[in-house]
Amino acid sequence: MQTININTSKPYSVLIGSGLLHGSVHSEKIRDRNVMVVSDDTVYALYGKPLCSLLKRGGAHIFTFVFPHGEQSKNLSTYGKLLEEMCRVRMTRNDLLVALGGGVTGDMAGFAAGTYQRGIDFAQIPTTLLSAVDSSVGGKTGVDLESGKNMVGVFHQPSHVLCDTDTLLTLPEDEYKNGCAEIIKYAMIGSRRLFQSIKEVPVSGQYENVISECVTMKRDLVEKDEFDNGPRMLLNFGHTVGHAVETCSGYKVPHGKAVAIGMAVITRAAEVSGLCSKDTCDKLLDLLASYGLPTDTSCDLSMLSAAIMTDKKSRGGKLTLVVPREIGSCELMEIPKSSVPEWLKAGGVR
Ligand code: NAD
Ligand code: GLY
C-alpha cells in the first residue's frame, strides 16, 4: 500500500493498494456518525456491500443514495435529489458523505458535500482508473449544465481518499481506456519516464505504481495552486477541446476519449506552429493509438469553436491553452479567443 499526503488548505491522505475495501477504518473517524454512501447503480451492485460492512464495523449509521450510472446523471436534478435525501435523513454538519464510484459520482457527491449546510466532510473511494488517477484528488467538484460541462461547482477537498486497486479488475475495457487517456496526459505534462514506462508495460500491469505516480504529480500541482489560477491549469492538457467534444456529442463521447482527441488536436496544431516537433506529435499519437484511444473528432469546426467559447478557462477575450513542447513538458499559452478556429483547423478539425 502507498500513502500520499496532500497538503492543501484541508490536508488529507490518499491510500492506494489492493484489498483496502476489505480492511478496516479508524473507528474514531466514523463511530456514531451518519454516513451517506453515494454511488451509481452499477458500482453499488459491485461494491456497496463491502463498503457498507466496512463502515458498519467502524460504528457508522449508514444511508445510501444510488443513481443511474453515466454522465447524464451528473446534473442539477440528481444533485438536488441527493441534497433532499441528506435533509430527509437529517444529516448534520458533523456527518460524512462517501463517494463510491467514478468521476461522475465523486464530482456530484463532492459538490453536494461542499454545499450542504455550507459544507460537510466527504471521502472519495474511486473505482475507475480515471477517478483513481485524477478526479478523486484535488477538490474540484460540480455538475454539468445543459449549456456546458462542469459549469457549476465548488472547490471542496475530500477528507480521505481510499483507492482499492482490486476494484479496477471489474472495469470494462472502454473505461480502462478512458483512464489511460488521463495517465497519458500526466506523462505529457510532466514525466518522460512515465511515458516510456506505459509504452513498455501496460498500465493494467502496474496499477499501484502508475496511480501513485499520477497522484504525486497532481499533489505537486494542487499544493502549489489549489484554486487553479496558475500551474494547476497544466492538468487541463487536452481538456479545452475535450470538454467541447463531450458537449457537442451530447456526452456520447466520454471524458477520457474526449481528452485523448483534445490532446491530439492541440499537439498537431502545436507541430504546425513549430511549438513542438513532428517526433513529439508522432510519439503521442502512437501511444494514444496503442491504448485504443481516438485522435480525431466528427464534431464540426463551428460547433466545436462555439462550445470552446463557453469554456470556464476563458477569461475576457482570452483563453489559456496547454501546449506541448516535448514529451514530459507542456506550457500555458494565452491565446485570443478569435484564434480558436485556426488552432482547431491546424489540429485537423474540419
Ligand atoms: P463514471 O463515473 O461515469 O464511470 C464510468 C462508468 O464505469 C460508469 O458507468 C460506472 O458505473 C462504471 N464503473 C465505475 N467503476 C466501476 C468498476 N470498478 N467496475 C465496473 N464498472 C465501473 O466516469 P469516469 O470516467 O470515472 O469519470 C468521468 C467524470 O469525471 C467526468 O464527468 C469528468 O468531468 C470528471 N472528472 C473530474 C475531474 C476532477 O478533477 N474533479 C477530473 C477528471 C474528470
Ligand atoms: N482535472 C483537473 C484538475 O483537477 O485540475
Angstrom CA distances, 218 to 8, 191, 214, 330, stand at 12, 12, 6, 15
Stretch 80-95: mean pLDDT: 98
Q: Which residues line ligand 2 (CB under 6 A)?
A: 134, 138, 140, 228, 232, 235
Tens digit of each residue's pLDDT (9 = 90 or more) over 315-349: 778 999 999 999 999 999 999 999 999 999 999 99
CA of 104, nearest ligand number: 1
Longest alpha-carbon distance in the chain: 60
Compute the distance from residue 280 Cα to the ligand 2 centre, in Å.
24
Residue with cell 462517501: 98
Tens digit of each residue's pLDDT (9 = 90 or more) over 105-143: 999 999 999 999 999 999 999 999 999 999 999 999 999
pTM confidence score:
0.96
CA of 246, nearest ligand number: 1
Tens digit of each residue's pLDDT (9 = 90 or more) over 180-205: 999 999 999 999 999 999 999 999 99
Compute the distance from residue 186 Cα to the ligand 1 centre, in Å.
17
Alpha carbon distance 203, 177 (integer Å): 10
Q: Which long-range contacts (CB under 8 A, 24 or more apart) does 275-282 make?
A: 275/323, 275/324, 275/325, 276/323, 276/324, 276/325, 276/326, 277/326, 280/324, 280/325, 280/326, 280/327
Residue 347, ligand 1, Cβ within 6 A: no
Compute the distance from residue 237 Cα to the ligand 2 centre, in Å.
10
Residue 46, ligand 1, Cβ within 6 A: yes
